[in-house]
């Protein structure tokens, strides 16, 4: 259901103050209402029980309060929980709770669909419908945190922007969402526990540096030379590896924040000894803390396959012998299409 009423969560303090003054109410209402919106996670005005019925009714008459709703959930045999969320205008988007002993991680989406068409990613075969608003991204985190508390008795420890969409093509909303997630009057989560993953938008990576962001950055590299990367990630044609290396160095110089490289292994495509040596060269040029080597998760739309275990171990040994800090990341939630690259609104 769509409405032409202004979204109350998109108003800042001064705009809310002006509103309450205009209806003859006090400024302290701003604090009360913002607490309901951002800390108590009210999704209806009638839930704001310390406001009078008349005021709640007036707010409902003057504003909308669109909120993400859980449309469906699936639980994996490994404890991973995938949620399909429904937006106020009827779109679907997915988020994942990834639990381990040490961590409870929310993998969140930033766009409905994606425009980048990465050949190995299920979301890349969907059209981009629109960007998620910052309050919708915030809702994803809130709803996944509630799942974590309900199922595991613990709050989220980490957030990764590795779901549907390219976060840096929704730059403003992603940064606003992170500001709210880390704000004292929001979820008050340390930005150091938040990682934004990008397919590689060099200009936006530099802007992150200029904006002095405090969160971590991950680059989805997945191939260590331009020819191969062009063939699986069309964005590389306008953001080649050299441009990305330069942008990452600039980002690190401006912020000192942790950088991770992500590299999915594809059988007979990027898993050779030569590929490992080329990846080592890139690692030497970038102030990266770590390379995450990720096992490929098959999708219906693509014909890639994962290398056998011997090939994976050989690749890892070459990196290790070159003193590359690399970690093999086993995917979770594969049985419910919740693993890396599999999000496509299936339930």
- Please, are residues 158 and 195 in contact by the beta-carbon 8 Å criterion? yes
Which pLDDT does position 126 carry in this prediction?
A: 82
Catalytic residue, chosen from 35, 46, 94, 295, is 94
User: Would you state the pLDDT for residue 2?
Assistant: 55
DSSP state of 6: P
Residue 341: predicted pLDDT: 47
- pLDDT value, residue 24: 94
Q: Give, for 93, the enclosing helix (H) or strand (E).
A: strand 92-99
As given in the structure block, the two tokens for residue 136 are 């919708």
Evaluate whether 177 touches 138 at the Cβ level (below 8 Å).
Answer: yes
Sign of the four-CA dihedral 82, 88, 92, 93? negative
- Per domain, the residue ranges of the chain are 8-62, 69-336
> Residue 291 in contact with residue 316, Cβ under 8 Å?
no
204 sits in which H/E element: helix 202-210
Q: Which two tokens stand for residue 133?
A: 């608003």
- What pLDDT is stored for residue 347 in this prediction? 45
Q: Does 309 participate in catalysis according to the annotation?
A: no
Q: H helices then E strands: how many in the chain?
A: 10, 12
* pLDDT on residue 236: 93
* Pairwise CA distance, residues 161 & 337, whole Å: 17
Q: How far apart are CA 346 and CA 338, in angstroms?
A: 9
How confident is the chain (347 residues) per 10-residue block, as mean pLDDT?
A: 83 95 94 96 94 96 96 91 95 94 95 86 82 97 97 96 95 98 94 97 98 97 96 94 98 97 94 96 96 86 86 96 93 56 48
Question: 69-336 has which CATH code?
Answer: 3.20.20.70
Task: Say if CB 307 and CB 267 are below 8 A apart.
Answer: yes
Residue-wise DSSP of 300-321: TT----PPPHHHHHHHHHHHHH
Helix (H, G, I), strand (E, B) or coil at 114: coil
**Which has the closest alpha carbon to 167: 217, 117, 126?**
217
Look at residue 55 in the predicted model and tell me its pLDDT: 96
pLDDT in tens, 122-147: 777 787 899 999 999 999 999 999 99
Residue 340 is a catalytic residue: yes
Other CB atoms within a 10 A radius of the CB of residue 212 amount to 9
The class of domain 8-62 in CATH terms is mainly alpha
Q: What is the pLDDT of residues 235-251, one digit of tens each?
A: 999 999 999 999 999 99
Rounded Cα gap, residues 92 and 89, in angstroms: 9
User: Model confidence over 34-81: pLDDT tens digits?
Assistant: 999 999 999 999 999 999 999 999 999 999 999 999 999 999 888 899
The predicted structure's pLDDT at residue 125: 74
Distances (CA, A) of 54 to 33, 37, 51: 14, 18, 8
The helix-helix angle for 28-38 and 13-22 (nearest 10°) equals 130
Alpha carbon separation from 129 to 111, 132, 329 (Å, rounded): 8, 9, 31
**Total residue count of the chain as it appears in this document:** 347
Q: Which of 107, 114, 118, 340 is catalytic?
A: 340
C-alpha neighbours within 13 Å on the C-beta side of residue 247: 20
């Amino acid at each position: 259901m769509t409405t032409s009423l202004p979204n109350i969560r998109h108003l800042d303090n001064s705009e809310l103050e002006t509103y309450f003054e205009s209806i003859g109410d006090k400024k302290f209402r701003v604090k009360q209402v913002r607490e309901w919106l951002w800390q108590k996670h009210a999704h209806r005005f009638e839930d704001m029980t310390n406001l009078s019925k008349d005021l709640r009714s007036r707010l409902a008459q003057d504003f909308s309060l669109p909120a993400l709703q859980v449309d469906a959930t699936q639980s994996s045999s490994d404890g991973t929980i995938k949620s399909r969320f429904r937006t106020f205008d009827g779109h679907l988007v997915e988020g994942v709770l990834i639990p381990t002993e040490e961590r409870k991680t929310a993998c969140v989406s930033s766009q409905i669909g994606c425009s980048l068409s990465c050949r190995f990613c299920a979301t890349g075969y969907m059209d981009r419908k629109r960007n998620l608003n910052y309050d919708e991204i915030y809702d994803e985190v809130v709803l996944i945190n509630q799942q974590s508390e309900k199922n595991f008795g613990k709050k989220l420890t980490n957030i990764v922007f590795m779901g549907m969409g390219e976060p840096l093509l929704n730059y403003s909303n992603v940064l606003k969402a992170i500001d709210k997630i880390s704000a004292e009057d929001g979820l008050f989560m340390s930005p150091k526990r938040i990682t934004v993953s990008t397919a590689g938008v060099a200009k936006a990576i530099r802007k992150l540096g200029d904006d002095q962001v405090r969160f971590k950055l991950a680059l989805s590299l997945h191939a260590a030379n331009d020819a191969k990367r062009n063939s699986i990630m069309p964005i590389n044609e306008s953001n080649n590896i050299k441009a990305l290396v330069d942008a990452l160095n600039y980002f690190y110089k401006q912020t000192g924040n942790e950088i991770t490289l992500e590299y999915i292994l594809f059988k007979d495509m990027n898993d050779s000894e030569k590929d490992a040596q080329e990846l080592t060269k890139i690692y030497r040029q970038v102030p990266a803390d770590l390379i995450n080597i990720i096992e490929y998760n098959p999708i219906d739309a693509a014909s890639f396959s994962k290398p056998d275990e011997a090939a994976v171990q050989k690749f890892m040994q070459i990196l290790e012998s070159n003193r590359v800090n690399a970690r093999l990341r086993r995917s979770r939630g594969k049985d419910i299409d919740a693993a890396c690259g599999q999000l496509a609104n299936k339930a």
